[in-house]
């Protein structure tokens, strides 16, 4: 029997994923001064034990001013490396490729955690228990807030822009030192890279704005700097907001064209998300958030830019995921909330698609005994039911 498409390996440069199931980056708001903690080790580690081929660690700030909240993970200093290395090492030893998303939240930084509605931190943040230095002045291509509730960001000078490119490259070097083999740039959701790209947030007239080419310059310079900073075999991903979802904003044709530039600059896979350029949700009507709601975008990039694309967004069922891959909508699937719900999703997917439990970690073997008589059947046939024991 042919292995399901979901369980075919995927090679991106020198990195081979054992299957096409990735954990989408998800901020956990559990760091102090950016440091990874035991929580990160356990949280990201359990996805690797659960069978995902790729575990992408949450948006990790390349600069303290680029944290979404004061509790975001960070990689702006060498001191962050040991904590991150524990996570990467455990993920790799558990059979998954350790990935990390590098980010800078730009004008959407300095906000509270999502369970406080992600509202911008006020001047009373420290009194409310947030760390010293909260709130902070945010940075953007132009002095335009991300929405009515946001403060006005500082417009970056051309020197600020050039200087920040090195922060991305240094962060990527640290990520590699920590053991990550897949590095994703967060170029979506209204954060710094996206805010340079979109005509709805970049009103500059210097070389970092003013035209399509100008708006693409900073993101592409960041990609080139990272590509030059890391070993050739490291896989690079770029998360795009495929569409802005607002009149006059980026549309999928812009994104496909940008993907061609990203490919030429050294990106190996595009992760197609959407939205976020402003917080005015009343206008964000273009993307209906049903099952697999970005599949048309990953397909468009894959076909239009002739390069691998990942799709994300309400992928919950193994048959649905299998169908996306086998119909050419994407090269891999990323799951966010469903992984929080069920970190063993990949194991269950293999059971659902191929009636196989061979990927289960033997230490969790007792969990499958009650399932469809698998152990009894395999014991009767004399086969070893569980083969993986990686550490
Ligand atoms: C708790 C949480 C945190 C998230 N943090 C990030 C992040 O750090 N970077 C990012 O690009 N997207 C982030 N997202 C978006 C997810 O990666 C994903 O694209 C989105 O949730 C849609 O996929 P899903 O329907 O499988 O959850 C986050 C989503 C959730 C639910």
Q: Which of 24, 309, 313 for mutating ligand 1's site (highest number of atoms within 8 Å of CB)?
A: 24
Q: What is the pLDDT of residue 383?
A: 55
pLDDT at 391 over 50: no
Q: Is residue 369 part of a domain?
A: no
3 has a pLDDT exceeding 90: no
3-class DSSP assignment, residue 133: coil
Determine, yes or no, domain membership for 373: no
Tell me the CA–centroid distance for residue 241 and ligand 1, in Å.
Answer: 12
Share of the chain above pLDDT 70, in %: 92
Query: Where do runs of H (alpha helix) occur along 189-294?
Result: 192-197, 212-229, 252-265
CA distances in angstroms from 18 to 11, 48, 177, 184, 251, listed in the order given: 9, 11, 22, 18, 33
Q: How many residues does the chain have?
A: 391
- Is 205 domain-assigned? yes
The residue whose CA is least distant from atom 4 of ligand 1 is: 26
Residue 357 lies inside a defined structural domain of this protein: no
Q: How far apart are CA 226 and CA 228, in angstroms?
A: 5
Q: Which of 96, 121, 15, 110 is nearest to 61 (CA)?
A: 110
State the Cα–Cα distance between residues 92 and 235, nearest whole angstrom. Answer: 15
Residue 285: is its pLDDT beyond 70? no
Q: What local confidence, expressed as pLDDT, does residue 220 receive?
A: 98
Residue 333 in domain: yes
- Say whether 71 is catalytic: no
User: Which H or E run includes 93?
Assistant: helix 81-93
CB atoms within 10 A of CB 387: 12
Task: Kindly report, residue by residue over 176-219, the tens digit of the pLDDT.
Answer: 999 999 999 999 999 999 999 999 999 999 999 999 999 999 99
Q: Which of 95, 113, 101, 32 has its CA nearest to residue 61?
A: 101
Measure the CA–CA gap between 259 and 265, rounded to whole angstroms: 10
Q: Exposed, middle or buried by CB within 10 Å (0-12, 13-18, 19+), for 88?
A: buried
Mean pLDDT of 65-89: 98
Is pLDDT above 70 for 298?
yes
Residue 115 lies in a domain: yes
Residue 348 is assigned to a structural domain of this protein: no
Q: State which residues form the domain around 185.
A: 14-338
Residue 370 lies in a domain: no
Q: What per-residue confidence (pLDDT) applies to 385?
A: 47
Choice among 29, 71, 130, 191 that is catalytic = 191
C-beta of residue 171 within 8 angstroms of C-beta of residue 87: no
Kindly list the protein residues whose Cβ atom lies closer than 6 A to any atom of ligand 1: 24-27, 58-59, 101, 186, 188-189, 239, 273, 312-315, 335-338
Count how many domains the chain has: 1
Which atom from ligand 1 is nearest to the alpha carbon of 338? 26
Find the CATH number of the domain harbouring 126.
3.20.20.70
């Amino acid at each position: 029997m042919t292995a399901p498409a979901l369980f075919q390996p995927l090679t991106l440069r020198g990195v081979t994923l054992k299957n096409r199931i990735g954990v989408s980056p998800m901020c956990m708001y559990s760091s102090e001064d950016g440091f990874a903690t035991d929580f990160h080790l356990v949280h990201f580690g359990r996805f690797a034990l659960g069978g995902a081929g790729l575990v992408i660690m949450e948006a990790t700030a390349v600069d303290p001013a680029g944290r979404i909240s004061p509790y975001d993970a960070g990689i702006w200093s060498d001191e962050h490396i040991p904590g991150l290395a524990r996570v990467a090492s455990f993920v790799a030893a558990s059979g998954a490729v350790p990935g990390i998303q590098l980010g800078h939240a730009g004008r959407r930084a300095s906000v509270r955690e999502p369970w406080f509605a992600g509202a911008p931190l006020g001047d009373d943040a420290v009194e409310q228990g947030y760390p010293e230095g909260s709130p902070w002045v945010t940075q953007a291509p132009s002095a335009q807030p991300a929405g009515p509730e946001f403060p006005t960001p500082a417009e970056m000078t051309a020197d600020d822009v050039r200087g920040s490119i090195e922060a991305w490259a240094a962060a990527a070097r640290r990520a590699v030192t920590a053991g990550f083999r897949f590095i994703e740039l967060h170029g979506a959701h209204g954060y710094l890279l996206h805010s340079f790209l979109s005509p709805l947030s970049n009103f500059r007239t210097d070389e970092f704005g003013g035209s399509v080419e100008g708006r693409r310059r900073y993101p592409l310079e960041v990609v080139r700097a990272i590509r030059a900073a890391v070993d050739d075999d490291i896989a690079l991903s770029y998360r795009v907001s495929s569409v802005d979802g607002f009149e006059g904003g980026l549309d999928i044709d812009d994104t496909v064209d940008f993907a061609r530039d990203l490919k030429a600059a050294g990106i190996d896979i595009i992760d197609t998300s959407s939205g976020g350029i402003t917080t005015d949700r009343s206008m964000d009507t273009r993307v209906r958030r049903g099952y697999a709601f970005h599949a048309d975008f990953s397909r468009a990039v894959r076909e239009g830019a002739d390069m691998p694309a990942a799709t994300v967004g309400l992928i919950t069922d193994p048959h649905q995921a299998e169908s996306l891959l086998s119909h050419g909508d994407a090269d891999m699937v990323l799951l966010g909330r469903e992984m929080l719900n069920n970190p063993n999703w990949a194991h269950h997917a293999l059971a659902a698609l191929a009636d196989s439990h061979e990927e289960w970690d033997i230490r969790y073997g007792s969990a499958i005994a009650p399932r469809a008589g698998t152990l009894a059947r395999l014991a009767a046939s004399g086969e070893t039911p569980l083969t993986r024991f990686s550490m």
